[in-house]
Amino acid sequence: MARGRAANYDDQRAAILAQAARLFARQGYAATSMNQVADACALSKAALYHYFRDKYALLTHIAEAHVRLLLAVTQDVETQYPDAQRRLPALIERFVREYAGAQDAHRVLTEDVRFLDPADRDRILGIEREVVAHFARAIAATRPGLEPAALDKPLAMLLFGMINWLFTWFKPGQPLDDSTLAPLVADLFLNGVGGLHIDTLTQLEGERADAA
């Protein structure tokens, strides 16, 4: 008779993925062993293999789950904001917040996708291209002429160039947290440095200090 799953099976899998993402992000996928993942999860190696067959399975699950979450965010924002002028700022702000809360997984997606087999890499990068396409459409909707001029996707890639690497320097609360950084990124992309609403940011910082 096959052994049934424990009641906390899904929670344990999620905890393992979080620990594996942390290790991959800090020391690299290639330098991380299953023994290290097991130790970080306070599991035996045999117990770890009950949840994931090998290190490659961990990498695939982390990268694909993260990019599918980002796709779900774009779809959710499009449903909530049919108005094109509100949709793009909302997309930017949601993504900055998602990145702030998933820095390990995002580093894995950005840096370790090269270790995936071609079929897995193509599938995951295909989902990533869907995310970029959603942003390109949102950008094109804010200004007629961008799409016919083939500028919508390059602008989307420039925007991702701004937000994709937040995890390399962003430390929440020093001095910004994600709630103040997110509108700053949206404001900078949409209005440029000359159009930044500094007064609004100062007010947000003041409100955060009062709440503390």
User: Percentage of the chain surpassing pLDDT 90?
Assistant: 58
Mean pLDDT of 144-156: 85
At position 208, the amino acid (one-letter code) is R
The pLDDT score that the predictor gives to residue 116 is 97
Mean pLDDT, the chain, as a whole number? 87
Which residue is listed with tokens 């897995």?
120
How far is the C-alpha of 9 from the C-alpha of 188, rounded, in Å? 43
Q: What tokens were used for 163?
A: 């937000």
Spatial neighbors of 84 by CB under 8 A, at least 6 apart, are 138, 141, 142
- What confidence tier does 203 reach under pLDDT thresholds 50, 70, 90? low
The pLDDT score that the predictor gives to residue 84 is 84
- What confidence tier does 5 reach under pLDDT thresholds 50, 70, 90? low
How far is the C-alpha of 172 from the C-alpha of 74, rounded, in Å? 23
H or E element at residue 97: helix 84-101
HEC profile of 121-182: HHHHHHHHHHHHHHHHHHHHHHCCCCCCCCCHHHHHHHHHHHHCCHHHCCCCCCCCCHHHHH
pTM: 0.83
- What confidence tier does 176 reach under pLDDT thresholds 50, 70, 90? confident
CA–CA distances in Å: residue 189 to residues 160, 183, 184: 10, 10, 9
CA proximity to 66, closest of 164, 134, 161: 164
Q: Indicate whether 4 pLDDT > 90.
A: no
Classified as helix, coil or strand, 43 is: coil
Q: Domains, the chain, ranges and CATH?
A: 9-211 (1.10.357.10)
